[in-house]
Amino acid sequence: MLPPGSTIGVLGGGQLGRMIAMAASRLGYRTHVFATEPDAPAVQVAAAATIASFGDPAAVAGFAAAIDVATCEFENVPAAALRRVAAKRPVLPRPEILEIAQDRLREKNFLRSIGVATADFRDVADPDELAAAARELGRPAVLKTVRLGYDGKGQVLLGADTSPEDAWHRMGAAHGILEGFVDFACEISVIVARGSDGALAAYPAVENRHVNHILDTTIAPARIAPDIAAEATRIARHIAERLDLVGILAVEMFVTRSGAILVNELAARPHNSGHWTIDACLTSQFEQLVRAICGLPLGSTEHHADAVMTNLIGRDVARWRAALDEPNAKVHLYGKTRTRPGRKMGHITRLVPHGRAAP
């Protein structure tokens, strides 16, 4: 066990790192953030920070020497930096897990290898392979970059008339994955934590609505049949076990119109669809991560309120003031000084405490 007073290293300076640091400090831990920007959201609340590029080996080595355990708040920490930290200190979840989640092909191949269903997919390396894959999978289909894609970046929908050359250039990467289009009834996610002793704790499945490929709203718990929710939880726990996870894992899934579950993506870190747990659960996803990587027992994932979480994206951030007047709304702002379209500036969680009727 890593006792309170120890230092947790967080790779990445965004809002997830900020909320990890806040949860860590409540349990008496210090946080040292590695970020590329001096005023990054996580840097503002951390005890210490290294401001450097992930490609700077001396800065990464100095960071590793200053911490007791490391975790990532950001999907695309370069593998070389991760390995450099891992050579000196435990990195949890393990770098091998992060490398699977960073690569959509490895991720889908891994999921298939452990018996988890995904959309049909093909590995495509040029416009000719893309054309052949589109003939096999049918249209519409979704072309995605294999690496460095998030929030729909590097994603192109191949409709009936889209030319493979055009789609390839719009994707803008040297390696792609073509996925069959899933005509889903809804999108859900399950967040699961696993301790170093193998203990598992899953949060209820939640329902996610995206606008412009960016998460807009999470409804917790998801309004799905109990057997589908139970199956989603079983899948998430199975993946965490097979990955030998220590830490936290978010599993994004599609529920098809026939009630089947297809896994879309894994994120081995706290997830935007778990922000509601801060205000509505006995243990937040951030505290759960701290507990898992420090070797503490996991906390209860029970929720004492239902919740609807709305992201404040770009200029939506101006809604924070009105939300403060709502008694059941909790406002979270990430300390970002510059607003950009598509940028996650904060979120609002609206609670319906159990035992009280919805407004």
Residues in contact with ligand AMP by CB under 6 A are: 119, 142, 149, 152, 155, 179, 181-182, 187, 210, 213, 252, 264-265
Separation CA 168–CA 175 (nearest Å): 9
Query: Tokens 């450099």 appear where?
Result: 84
CA within 13 Å, CB half, 278 = 24
Report the nearest approach of ligand AMP to the CB of residue 347 (Å).
17
Report the nearest approach of ligand AMP to the CB of residue 19 (Å).
21
**Three-class SS of residue 17?**
helix
Torsion of CA 150, 340, 344, 330, to 10 degrees: -170
Neighbouring C-beta atoms of residue 353, cutoff 10 Å: 11
Residue 4 vs 152, nearer CB to ligand AMP: 152
Residue 158 vs 193, nearer CB to ligand AMP: 158
Residue 149 vs 247, nearer CB to ligand AMP: 149
Residue 207 vs 306, nearer CB to ligand AMP: 207
Report the nearest approach of ligand AMP to the CB of residue 238 (Å).
20
Distances (CA, A) of 38 to 8, 42, 218, 233, 336: 19, 10, 31, 39, 12
215: left (phi over 0), alpha (psi -120 to 50) or beta: beta
Contact of 149 with 155, CB cutoff 8 Å: yes
Residue 40 vs 143, nearer CB to ligand AMP: 143
Report the nearest approach of ligand AMP to the CB of residue 115 (Å).
20
Residue 24 vs 263, nearer CB to ligand AMP: 263
Report the nearest approach of ligand AMP to the CB of residue 119 (Å).
4
Report the nearest approach of ligand AMP to the CB of residue 359 (Å).
28
Separation CA 211–CA 151 (nearest Å): 10
